[in-house]
Chains A and B, each alone.
Chain A
Amino acid sequence: MAVLSEELRDQIRAQFPKYPNKRAVVLPALHLVQDAQRHVSIEAVREIAELLELHPSEVHDTMSFYQFFKDEKHQLGKHRVWVCRSISCMLRGGEELLQHMCERLHVHPGQTSADGKITMEFAECLGACEGAPCVLVDDEAHMNITPEKADELLKNL
């Protein structure tokens, strides 16, 4: 049975006119699928390839390069929370914050909380250095995060 819904296929096809070839739609398609399904399964890779007229290995080659995309063995939680560990955040407590948040959820970076709600990750510079340490919740940045504010953030997800 197909894993990509007709709606998802339409969303992918809607990207075609923006580019001179279909291969350029690999990243937009992977984003659409991962947003909807919280991972990109090998079957989804096959179906994306068919839509884009590529070999599945070409799609998988691209997907595996970007550690951002996760396969069925590493499914994401409902939300993805990234803590910056690069220089400006590290100097203002980013690493301690990452440790604190991981302990709060009883996970290591890259793992998902037991309730399947939150995947905790470290990030390299999030480009919000004026508000270090910063945290990205899905793709929205939150700045000047203290451990107390982090607990609040996690609680509200």
Chain B
Amino acid sequence: MAEFQPVLLARVGKPDSHLLETYRRDGGYEGFKKALGMAPAEVVATVKDSGLRGRGGAGFPTGLKWTFLPKDHPGPIYLAINADESEPATFNNRILMEEDPHQVLEGIAISCYAIKSKAAYIYLRYEYGRSYRVLQKAIDECYAAGIFGKNIFGSGFDLDVVLHRGAAAYICGEETGLIESLEGKRAWPRIKPPFPAIEGLFRKPTIVNNIETMACVKNILDLGGDWFKSLGVPPDPSNPRDAGSYGPKLYCISGHVNKPGCVELPMGITARQLIDEHGGGVWKGRKAKAVVPGGISMGFLSASELDTPLDFNGPGKVGCLGLGTAAITVIDDETSMVDVLFNCARFFAHESCGQCTPCREGTAWMHKILTRIRMGEGQMRDLDLLTEVAASMGIIPGTTICGLSDGAAWPIKNAIKKFRPEFEEYISTGRKTVKPAESLMAAH
């Protein structure tokens, strides 16, 4: 097979790749011009036919989401861009925003035209200071060049793009938490329905899309839906509800590898290929004990599951919650899974927004139980207790408003199922791998 040439990352690393001048020299904003010559419904159809599924984690078909907007709505309709990339180990959106902001902005412009929105809000996590400065400069360049503003390219289409900074809260990545936060409130997710497409930002119809999804939209307009569909994995014939895993995907590789980074590949590559062919192998000549397939919310792949294809179906078949953000974290065979799971539990105890009791209390208890196991004071029954608490929280058991809770429960369920002997050995020997400072054990 010929080596795949990156498209989303094609301009990354080139000199001044973040400037409008170089972007236009590389054919930038031609796709937007092309879209302006089409009817909005045609643009929606193009994206729908390409098979693009959202890159933020849930994998919902993008074009289909757009069609959920009310027909002939008088407006305003909003596009809210989720740039609150906070899932641990995920950084692909940051690279797109810092290195090729205009690619993202062009995708936003095309999407706004398609859904008849005159205003896009980019909700950017606070920690991405460099992304903020680069994106804001790119937006200013677009206004100055008449790419944003009134009557763009004489088409009669108006568009305003606003960059809005968050305040370091993971829950703002949940689409309705993001909307509440943008409205100036605490980021408590909303009960659905109504879904944002019907009643979203400022109580108006709203589409929430991810940054990488926007970059895909831009390239679908340039290269065609057929190009997008020629990459990746077609639907699984045994699963009638599968919409396929088409297109290129940005995979992040971090943790115990020689060469951490972000690579673009057609969907469906395996964790083993990512580690060996793109991550430089496991560091220090060690072996992988476990791999997080797409952010810690998704659970763990064990060493025997590394040939799982990382498409929208693969991780689910081996008990993970899903593909998530396709950001793999490699854990070597000298690392204790107790330490890893403690780290996951502490994260969710810190980030639960506190709105739903099963999540607020559940994440706190899972953190407490893992603290005592890690400190060498665990009991064997704690493992079943952890599993029981994990099973009681989330959208899947129907006890919470949003999916943060499912994401908090999943690594617990997965780790205890797949690595139970290691936890049992840890508890039965009363051993402590580490004696961390008190301040590192607390969630808050």
* Residues of A near any B CB (own CB < 8 A): 18-21, 23-28, 30-31, 52, 61-62, 65-69, 82, 85-88, 90-92, 95, 98-99, 102, 108-109, 122-132, 136, 138-141
Contacts and interface: CB of A to CB of B under 8 A. Distances in A.
Contacts, number: 158
Contacts of A123: 127, 168
A130 B261 contact: yes
Question: Chain B contact residues (Cβ within 8 angstroms of A): what range?
Answer: 35 or more
A68 B168 contact: yes
Which residue of A87, A126, A141 has the most chain B CB atoms within 10 A of its CB atom? A87
A109 B436 CA distance: 14
A111 B142 CA distance: 42
A100 B255 CA distance: 21
Contacts of A52: 184
B179 to A, nearest CB: 11
Q: Give the interface SS of chain B, mostly helix, strand, loop or mixed.
A: mixed
Interface of B: 76, 85-91, 93-94, 125-130, 132, 160, 162, 164-170, 181-187, 202, 252-256, 260-262, 292, 296, 327, 329, 331, 335, 339-340, 343-344, 346-347, 350-351, 353, 436-437, 439-440, 444
B182 A24 contact: yes
A130 B91 contact: yes
A39 B353 CA distance: 22
A139 B126 contact: yes
Contacts of B335: 91
A95 B126 contact: no
B168 A67 contact: yes
Given A85-B440, A87-B340, A129-B254, A68 B126 contact: yes
A93 B94 CA distance: 22
A30 B260 contact: no
Given A28-B165, A62-B186, A91-B335, A124 B350 contact: yes
A79 to B, nearest CB: 13
A58 to B, nearest CB: 8
A132 to B, nearest CB: 6
Contacts of B329: 87-88, 91, 129
Contacts of B128: 127, 139
Contacts of B343: 85-87, 90
A128 B92 CA distance: 9
Contacts of B183: 21, 23-24
B184 A23 contact: yes
Contacts of B292: 87
Contacts of B130: 139-141
A108 B292 CA distance: 30
A125 B440 contact: no
B91 A108 contact: no
29 contacts: A25-B184, A27-B166, A28-B165, A31-B126, A62-B184, A62-B186, A66-B167, A66-B186, A67-B168, A68-B126, A87-B89, A87-B255, A87-B344, A88-B88, A90-B339, A91-B255, A91-B331, A95-B436, A109-B439, A125-B347, A126-B127, A127-B91, A127-B93, A127-B94, A132-B260, A136-B129, A140-B129, A141-B127, A141-B130
